[in-house]
Amino acid sequence: MSLKGKTAIITGSNSGIGLGVAWELARAGADVVLNSFTDREEDHALAARIADETGVQARYIKADMSRGDECRALIEQAGVCDILVNNAGIQHVAPIDEFPIEKWDAIIAINMNSAFHTTAAALPLMRKAGWGRVVNIASAHGLTASPFKAAYVAAKHGVVGMTKTVALETAREPITANAVCPGYVLTPLVEAQIPDTMEKYGMDRDEVIEKVMLERQPSKEFATVEQLGGTVVFLCSEAAAQITGTTISVDGGWTAL
């Protein structure tokens, strides 16, 4: 399947799942816009490498997804957006009565509010183009909860709810909106949780991976960024044209438990 002629904007894509999704969309022929809040040489180099290796056009645009105005400016600066992948996200782990207020605010802003702003800015461009795909990278935590992740679980449930509303508002148009719900994927975001979890449970690294992270993932394997990218490419395909307002879990069976 070719996405040649389409342009995809992937928020939070200089690392992890976002970067994996950008690679798979580029391999499928889409031009890609990478994003994060930094503006380093290596950020732009990632886009150059994708362009070199796949032959698509690739750009990197700096925008801070914790700020509504910058979310909207990202879409405006790109000028075209056939595929919007809302992926930027952060995590913080703490009991709710000790949860730092600034972490709560940042998680809600980056993981949920950004998708509101980018979607609002992108839909007019999709309508103009007569085709569009909104893919929100939610989480198994958009469908179930875990202790110590109040802000993340709230934000991801919010994203799943917003996805359904966007799907209903675009149902009569050639635009779909869906959420992908990964289980654990070994990315920098997950790596960063390992030390805290080791301390909280008094475990070593391997025990945290096996007994905490993959405990709820029946496959006992991490999902990969390539698998997430492939799922997004599928949602952009003609076969997925009637799939809208739903979630696709890529979680090794977590939510079947």
Query: Which residues would be at the binding site for ligand NAD (CB under 6 A)?
Result: 12-18, 36-37, 64-66, 87-90, 110-111, 137, 139, 182, 184-185, 187-190
CB nearer ligand NAD, residue 178 or residue 187: 187
Q: Give yes or no: 201 in active site.
A: no
CB nearer ligand NAD, residue 12 or residue 158: 12
Nearest-approach distance from CB 113 to ligand NAD, in angstroms: 11
Nearest-approach distance from CB 192 to ligand NAD, in angstroms: 7
* Nearest Cα residue to 63 out of 23, 14, 112, 102: 14
* Nearest Cα residue to 84 out of 35, 153, 45, 156: 35
* Nearest Cα residue to 249 out of 190, 183, 185: 183
d(CA 19, CA 45): 12
Diameter of the chain by CA atoms?
55
d(CA 75, CA 53): 25
d(CA 107, CA 150): 10
First to last CA, the chain: 33
201's tokens? 């449970």
CB nearer ligand NAD, residue 83 or residue 88: 88
Question: Is there a contact between 136 and 163 (Cβ–Cβ < 8 Å)?
Answer: yes
CB nearer ligand NAD, residue 15 or residue 57: 15
Nearest-approach distance from CB 234 to ligand NAD, in angstroms: 17
Nearest-approach distance from CB 55 to ligand NAD, in angstroms: 24
CB nearer ligand NAD, residue 72 or residue 127: 72
Q: What's the Rg (C-alpha) of the chain?
A: 18
**Active-site residue numbers?**
152
